[in-house]
């Protein structure tokens, strides 16, 4: 009896192989051939499930982006829904813990950040990939805005939008530093910068 293959799981298997290629060789090495070799699948099988080279890049970015947003939404639930019953201090503490998920604080997150950084550079010259990246960035920024809204509920929408953008820029900068200088920019240093920024936000009168 022939083995039944779940198409979605096979695509995820291919994306996992694509991520390993990006981490080990860079996004320029990402191709149907390299992913077939990494996954142990025939190149025809890879093409059947993902399409061509550009489709592979878009699918890889879309799946890792969807997985990221699922994780962030689930962990943000106690912060953004009033029924959670958290005190102001507890919300601030949980907000810090949540925001740290957006930073490469351990090896798994550093690998994830390496993929994001590589794909972001590729998207700079690929309009279709850039559209996927923009969609993910927009969803993440909206979630950051909601979390900040629970920490500083008195802020106007305009102030919250500016501070969310400023915080997102800080997170992205820290991520890039960790990716390119992992030995000199440590998780502890990154954490201190984030905590200092949030402390300033908590004291700001706006």
Q: 74 is written with which tokens?
A: 């689930």
Same-domain pairing of 93 and 180: yes
pLDDT digits (tens, 9 = 90+) for 121-137: 999 999 999 999 999 99
Same-domain pairing of 138 and 168: yes
- Please give the residue range of the domain that contains residue 162: 60-203
Q: What is the DSSP letter of 4?
A: P
Number of domains present in the structure of the chain: 2
Same-domain pairing of 181 and 104: yes
Same-domain pairing of 41 and 133: no
Same-domain pairing of 129 and 183: yes
Same-domain pairing of 89 and 177: yes
Same-domain pairing of 122 and 81: yes
Same-domain pairing of 40 and 73: no
- pLDDT surpassing 80 at residue 85: no
pTM, two decimals, is: 0.88
- pLDDT surpassing 70 at residue 51: yes
Same-domain pairing of 46 and 92: no
pLDDT digits (tens, 9 = 90+) for 9-50: 999 999 999 999 999 999 999 999 999 999 999 999 999 999
Q: How far apart are CA 148 and CA 171, in angstroms?
A: 14
Radius of gyration of the chain (CA): 19
Rounded to the nearest integer, the mean pLDDT of the chain is: 90
pLDDT digits (tens, 9 = 90+) for 173-186: 999 999 999 999 99
- pLDDT surpassing 70 at residue 1: no
Same-domain pairing of 158 and 176: yes
- pLDDT surpassing 80 at residue 147: yes
Q: 49 is written with which tokens?
A: 């499930």
Residues in the chain: 206
């Amino acid at each position: 009896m022939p083995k039944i293959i779940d198409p979605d799981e096979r695509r995820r298997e291919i994306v996992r192989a694509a991520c390993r290629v990006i981490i080990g060789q860079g996004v320029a090495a990402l191709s149907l051939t390299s992913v077939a070799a990494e996954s142990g699948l025939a190149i025809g099988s890879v093409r059947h499930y993902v399409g061509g080279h550009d489709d592979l890049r878009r699918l890889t970015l879309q799946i890792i982006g969807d997985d990221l947003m699922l994780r962030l939404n689930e962990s943000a639930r106690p912060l953004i829904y009033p029924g959670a019953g958290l005190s102001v201090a507890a919300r601030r503490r949980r907000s810090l813990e949540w925001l740290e998920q957006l930073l490469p604080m351990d090896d798994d997150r550093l690998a994830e950040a390496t993929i994001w950084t590589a794909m972001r550079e590729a998207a700079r010259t690929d309009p279709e990939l850039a559209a996927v990246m923009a969609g993910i960035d927009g969803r993440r920024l909206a979630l950051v805005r909601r979390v900040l809204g629970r920490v500083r509920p008195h802020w106007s929408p305009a102030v919250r939008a500016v501070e969310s953008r400023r915080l997102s820029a800080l997170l992205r900068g820290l991520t890039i530093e960790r990716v390119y200088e992992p030995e000199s920019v440590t998780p502890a240093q990154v954490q201190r910068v984030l905590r200092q920024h949030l402390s300033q936000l908590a004291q700001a009168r706006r």
